Structure 1
Amino acid sequence: MAVYTEVSDDELEAFVAEYDIGRVMSCKGIAEGVENTNYLLQTDRTSYILTLYERRVNPEELPFFIGLMDHLAARGLACPTPIPGRDGGRLRTLCGRPAAIVSFLKGMWHRAITPHHCAELGPAMAEMHLKGADFPLTRRNNLSVEGWRPLFEAIRPRAAEIKDDLADLIAAELDHLEAKWPRDLPVGLIHADLFPDNVFFLAESLSGIIDFYFACTDFLAYDIAICLNAWCFEPDGAFNATKARVMLNGYRRVRPLSADELTALPLLARGAAMRFLLTRSYDWLNTPAGALVKRKDPLEYYRKLVFHQGIAGPGQYGIE
């Protein structure tokens, strides 16, 4: 989440009048995240999230995201539910951008991740995968292996501004990933951005999953690989095998992993690290001046990629 587009009071009042959600009491920008403009909208009835879709979001794909949240919520997954306007439509236009209002989930994300949080995440991720299995729409993952080289070419001329040898490491790693990327693992609906700030907890219980705007159809195990990167490293960069083990065991209790999926995890984890190294590098070099957004350090994922390059098999992730 972030704020790139400022919404005036008059524009906001006119927009909210198209819904039956009460009178606006307050609207505050949310600075976390990097993709869309988000506001915490408080009416005299309850709280909502107002999203204006920016940057990499293709407006033609918005019905997929909105429909997916409806689908998962209807099947009992705790996730935001798109709010229909008075005309029944869930997508509208605000300040020249596609926009929607979704329900507000109670809870907060944890900055200090413990093994308990990882143990909660595993089964919740597996349940999300199972509940999404009969979602009728599909969406190609534009930020998977086929999309990484174009991103690299976009940052290559300035990569040395981040790290002197960054371009050389990425070029060699892309050659490896493109040659070795698996082709026949189980495919389904994945979140593709399941970072701690997209998972809410009430006390110590997982209370919801948010921000489905990277969701797509891809290898289910790739979602797990993203979470190995996002949840299982300590602030000092050390990999925590206990966190990985409890997350994976929790997942496997709900949805067993095939031998091929387990074998592929180290390569998928390298690919997930590459994906976020590239997008963070692009954002680091191209974030608009004055945008209310926290830039994320791309070198965090440089270091994670180097770690995964040294993994010989899935057992090193704590898998029993």
Structure 2
Amino acid sequence: MAVYTQVSAEALAAFLSRYECGELISAKGIAEGVENTNYLVDTTADRFILTLYEKRVAADDLPFFMALLEHLAAKGLNVPPAIKDRSGVAIQALEGRPACLIKFLSGVSVSHPTPTQAEAAGRAMAEMHAAVRDFTGMRDNSMGVASWRPLFERCGRSLDQIAPGLYDDLGHALDVVTAGWPDAGFDRIAIHADLFPDNVLMLGDTVSGLIDFYFASTDLRLYDLAIMHTAWSFDATGETYHAAIGDALIRGYESHFPLQPFERAAFDTLASGACIRFALSRAWDWLNTPADALVTRKDPLAYLRRLAHYNSSLVTHVQ
């Protein structure tokens, strides 16, 4: 989440008048994340999240995201579907951006999850995967394996401005991981593709919500777990691997989807791919985020260090 587009109180009040949601009391920009503009909105009736979709989220993809959230909510999962206005419309426009008013879910995102919380989160991902078995929507993964080389080339030698040798390390890792990327025999379903700790809401040791589905796409089911493993199992710098957390995530996931031997054999490759994907997108944002944006940039090197955990031979220049 972030704030790139400023919304005036007058414009927001007019926007809310389309809904049966009470009158505006307050709105506060949310700075975490890097993708969309988000506000926490309080009205006389309830609390909501207002999301304005910035350039990385294509307006044509929004119907897929909204259909997926509606599907999961109908299955009883704690996800935040978009709220429809009095005319039954969910996807609106505000300040020149596509926008949605989103159901607010209670809970907090934990920055230092316990093994018990990690196991609950892994189980929640498995429940989500089970719930989308009959979801018919399809969307190519815009940040999937086919996108990494073009993004790497757009970053180019500017990567070495972040750290000397980063260009060479990521280029070598790309060659190795994409050459060995698994496909045949692996389930392909709708995945979240970004289930970091800040996208899982907890109340104590219980998962109270899964949020931010704006990278959701049709891809390898196990890749979703690999992404989650890279995001949850390390400290913020990527230097320290917490085996108890990583093991708990997989244990929770296996409550619904026991890993087969061929899946275990491919897991480090999938996790290495996740590290490349997030190192590249973070590097792009690091190099291109507007100076005046209210947004917290994230360190791409933290994902290069994670990559070294899954395959130490891929990182030879940057530590």
Q: Check if 1:297 corresponds to 2:278.
A: no
Counterpart-to-counterpart distance in 1, 2:108 and 2:247: 24
1:130 positional shift: 0.7
Per-residue Cα deviation, 1:107-135 (whole angstroms, up to 9, x for no partner): 10111122111111111000000111211
Counterpart-to-counterpart distance in 2, 1:281 and 1:216: 22
Unaligned runs of 5+ in 2: 314-319
1:235 positional shift: 4.3
Question: What letter corresponds to residue 53 of structure 1 in structure 2?
Answer: Y
Where does residue 50 of structure 1 map in the other structure?
50
Counterpart-to-counterpart distance in 2, 1:168 and 1:22: 55
Where does residue 110 of structure 1 map in the other structure?
110
Where does residue 315 of structure 1 map in the other structure?
none
Q: Does structure 1 conserve the Cα–Cα contact (< 8 Å) formed by 2:31 and 2:296? A: yes
Per-residue Cα deviation, 1:43-72 (whole angstroms, up to 9, x for no partner): 101100000000211110000001111110
Question: What letter corresponds to residue 157 of structure 1 in structure 2?
Answer: R
Unaligned runs of 5+ in 1: 312-320
Q: TM-score, normalised by structure 2?
A: 0.95
What is the total number of aligned residue pairs between the two structures?
311
Where does residue 314 of structure 1 map in the other structure?
none
Counterpart-to-counterpart distance in 2, 1:251 and 1:196: 15
Counterpart-to-counterpart distance in 2, 1:301 and 1:91: 34
Per-residue Cα deviation, 1:275-296 (whole angstroms, up to 9, x for no partner): 0000000000000111010000
Q: Does structure 2 conserve the Cα–Cα contact (< 8 Å) formed by 1:27 and 1:41? A: yes
Where does residue 206 of structure 2 map in the other structure?
205
Pairs within 5 Å for 1:215-230: 215-230=216-231
Counterpart-to-counterpart distance in 2, 1:133 and 1:54: 30
Per-residue Cα deviation, 1:88-112 (whole angstroms, up to 9, x for no partner): 0100100010000010000101111
Where does residue 307 of structure 1 map in the other structure?
309
Where does residue 187 of structure 2 map in the other structure?
186
Per-residue Cα deviation, 1:226-270 (whole angstroms, up to 9, x for no partner): 111110113462212221112111111112222221111000000
1:81 positional shift: 1.7
Counterpart-to-counterpart distance in 1, 2:247 and 2:159: 35
**Which is further off, 239-248 or 28-37?**
239-248
Q: Check if 1:95 corresponds to 2:95.
A: yes
Pairs within 5 Å for 1:268-279: 268-279=270-281
Question: What letter corresponds to residue 56 of structure 1 in structure 2?
Answer: R
Counterpart-to-counterpart distance in 1, 2:178 and 2:273: 10
Q: Does structure 1 conserve the Cα–Cα contact (< 8 Å) formed by 2:236 and 2:302? A: no
Q: Which consecutive aligned stretches of 4+ in structure 1 deviate over 4 angstroms post-superposition?
A: none
Name the SS for the 2:172 alignment partner. Answer: helix
Pairs within 5 Å for 1:31-46: 31-46=31-46
Where does residue 247 of structure 1 map in the other structure?
249
Name the SS for the 2:255 alignment partner. Answer: helix
1:5 positional shift: 0.2
Where does residue 316 of structure 2 map in the other structure?
none
Q: Does structure 2 conserve the Cα–Cα contact (< 8 Å) formed by 1:145 and 1:177? A: no
1:310 positional shift: 3.2
Question: What letter corresponds to residue 109 of structure 1 in structure 2?
Answer: S
Pairs within 5 Å for 1:1-20: 1-20=1-20
Per-residue Cα deviation, 1:201-222 (whole angstroms, up to 9, x for no partner): 1122111100000001111110
Q: Does structure 2 conserve the Cα–Cα contact (< 8 Å) formed by 1:109 and 1:201? A: yes
Name the SS for the 2:98 alignment partner. Answer: strand
**% identity of equivalent residues:** 47
Where does residue 61 of structure 1 map in the other structure?
61
